[in-house]
Structure 1
Amino acid sequence: MPGRLLETPFDGPLAERLAAPPAEGLNLFWLGQAGFVIDIAGRRIVIDPYLSDSLGEKYRGTPREHIRMMPPPIEPGAIAHIDLVCCTHAHTDHMDPGTLPALLAANPTAKLLAPRAMREQAIQRSGGAEARLVLVDAGEAIDLGRGLSVTATRAAHETLETDAEGHHRFLGYCFGTNDLALWHSGDCIPFDGLVAEVRKLKPQVALLPVNGRQPELSLNGVPGNFTLVEAVDVARAIRAETLVAHHYGLFDFNTIDPSEIDGMASGERALQVMRAREAIAFQWPPT
């Protein structure tokens, strides 16, 4: 399906947009950091939502305070019609105990998808939603109905990590229909085999983190991600048509200047490069 994502700004709160059921086609709404609402094939999926100040409370008064640069664009309980909530791994800005319980309470039929290696963390962070938990490992696919499936891919949050049973601690997810696929890499850096693994899934749209990595952060327990250049290279290599850059603008010690993304976008021709932004609906195909 040829085409590119179309940015459509909207006025008013995000909650007004997400009170309505999901439409057909693809619509994306950024929640900040790596979080998105993905409306695809008439399903509403929320991935890696961080809509609280859990990390600000945890690190208050420490040398590296996690002070939000942007407020949450919506309250967790205000997102309606959710079919699936996905967490790529167990870091708090991706599996948030300040977000998941309210999100699931407001959507009692929604399932929670998480890495099999992170089962206990998912139960705890969700407020005990074990009966609603769907566990997955890299390479596994799940049928979501209406011709939509999700396939888990490996992710290296600086390194590939597995538990004692060999299940991957960090995952990405590719959501696909017969004519459209979207890949959210999770927190990830380049590693051998990544491109070949994802290229088979034929994603037209790639949601990739671009905050990079810094040795001083990595040595202090804050692993990094793709640099912007690496994200562009990966998107090209998997033959995606559009890259949506994210995982920036939340904490000042672990971000990049948005103008860098805009500059990269202006210089690209074959690949559409855009940055996740608030109060924007990203639509495919353009209408």
Structure 2
Amino acid sequence: MAPDRGAWPSFEQIPYDGPLAARLATRPAAGGLSLYWLGQAGFVLDTGQARLLIDPYLSDALAVKYRGRGFSHERMMPPPIGVDDLPPIDAVLCTHHHTDHMDGETLQRIAARCAGTRFVVPLASLALARERIGAAPGRLVGVDAGDGLDLAAGLRLSVMRAAHETLERDAAGRHVFLGYGLEADGLRVFHSGDTVPFEGQAAEIAAFRPDLALFPVNGRSDALRSAGIAGNFTLDETADLARECRVPVVMAHHYGMFAFNSAAPEAIDARARGMTGGTRLVRARTGVEYRLGKDPVGG
């Protein structure tokens, strides 16, 4: 059972006009952090002191790779920002090796533009990350479940397990799929990576005590599995796990990128309206700043 949360931090959804690049030019105020959705599982997180990307897929690499064969990977939404328009980035986190999470075309360009950026990747995929990113060895950081790392000033990373669709390990016993907990100034955000439910998952998440959890909702199916495409939480699994762990806010993502492997926005919104138990479900959208603040509200 999740611990009693008491008062919960504030959470705002702030729509904005204009390009994301212009929005990122202004750092968030002290006493909180801001998130912006990049599509699929990608996010910008800005604490005001540190700025990082999680699983940025800003290219058309998969559309090119699969054009004319198999499932179409043409984008349903354009990237909300181009690599050349990104501000300085302290770190990029990749939860696993699939291209929509570790996109060499995007990551190589970030490495070339931002000389100080570090790239955090699963240790099980470190060799592949070197190939795809092409950055100097000192800029690549391999991690495994159970690790902790200070990413930047006031920003702490905790590494956890993920199962996409299994708790897969490499020959050395290192986890292939990861989730990331991020803590800045007492505020905690958890990105599950691509995952399905697994034994012990709820306890791990509850122990981290996230104020905001970022969970996929595209689900899984036998048809996709037979084609070698691993699945994720269903919408109900996302909602139920967040409620079990007493997460104040859970954000649904990993939809709206590829038509064959998505979730209906109206279904997410309907599930959000039906949430009980104090947990709030919101749908990730572009053109919105998600602001997590330190001012407590009732839990």
Residue aligning to 1:131? 138
- Give 1:18 deviation, angstroms: 2.0
Query: Do the aligned partners of 1:38 and 1:46 also contact (CA within 8 Å) in 2?
Result: yes
Residue aligning to 1:164? 171
Residue aligning to 1:219? 226
Give the letter for the 2:153 counterpart. Answer: R
Larger RCO, structure (CA 8 Å, separation 6 or more) = 2
- Matches for 1:24-39 after TM superposition, within 5 Å: 24=30, 25-39=32-46
Mapped partners of 1:250, 1:144: distance in 2: 29
Residue aligning to 1:233? 240
SS of the equivalent of 1:263 reads helix
Residue aligning to 2:3? none
Mapped partners of 1:150, 1:237: distance in 2: 23
SS of the equivalent of 1:187 reads coil
Give the letter for the 2:79 counterpart. Answer: P
- Matches for 1:9-88 after TM superposition, within 5 Å: 9-21=15-27, 23-24=29-30, 25-40=32-47, 42-88=49-95
TM-score (norm 1): 0.96
Residue aligning to 1:5? 11
SS of the equivalent of 2:104 reads coil
Query: Do the aligned partners of 1:89 and 1:170 also contact (CA within 8 Å) in 2?
Result: yes
Mapped partners of 1:143, 1:128: distance in 2: 20
- Give 1:27 deviation, angstroms: 0.4
SS of the equivalent of 1:56 reads helix
Residue aligning to 1:275? 283
Mapped partners of 2:122, 2:28: distance in 1: 25
Residue aligning to 1:90? 97
Deviates more, 1:260-269 or 1:203-212: 260-269
4+ residue stretches of structure 1 with deviation over 4 A? Answer: none
Which of 89, 108, 116 is 1:101 aligned to?
A: 108
- Give 1:219 deviation, angstroms: 1.1
Deviates more, 1:103-112 or 1:150-159: 103-112
Query: Do the aligned partners of 2:9 and 2:211 also contact (CA within 8 Å) in 1?
Result: no
TM-score (norm 2): 0.92
Aligned pairs, number: 287
Q: Deviations over 1:103-150 (max 9, x none)?
A: 222221110000000001111111244220011100100012433210
Deviates more, 1:73-82 or 1:218-227: 73-82
Query: Do the aligned partners of 1:84 and 1:110 also contact (CA within 8 Å) in 2?
Result: yes
Deviates more, 1:259-268 or 1:86-95: 259-268
Mapped partners of 2:131, 2:25: distance in 1: 28
Query: Do the aligned partners of 2:72 and 2:260 also contact (CA within 8 Å) in 1?
Result: no
Say if 1:285 and 1:22 are closer, same or farther in 2 by CA, change over 3 A. closer
Identity in percent: 48
Residue aligning to 1:284? 292
Mapped partners of 1:7, 1:97: distance in 2: 31
Give the letter for the 2:61 counterpart. Answer: S
Q: Deviations over 1:80-118 (max 9, x none)?
A: 121110000000000001100112222211100000000
Query: Do the aligned partners of 2:126 and 2:142 also contact (CA within 8 Å) in 1?
Result: yes
Give the letter for the 2:18 counterpart. Answer: G
Query: Do the aligned partners of 2:41 and 2:216 also contact (CA within 8 Å) in 1?
Result: yes
Mapped partners of 1:164, 1:8: distance in 2: 45
Superposed CA RMSD: 1.5
In structure 1, list runs of 5 or more residues that go unmatched: none
- Give 1:2 deviation, angstroms: 2.1
- Give 1:77 deviation, angstroms: 2.5
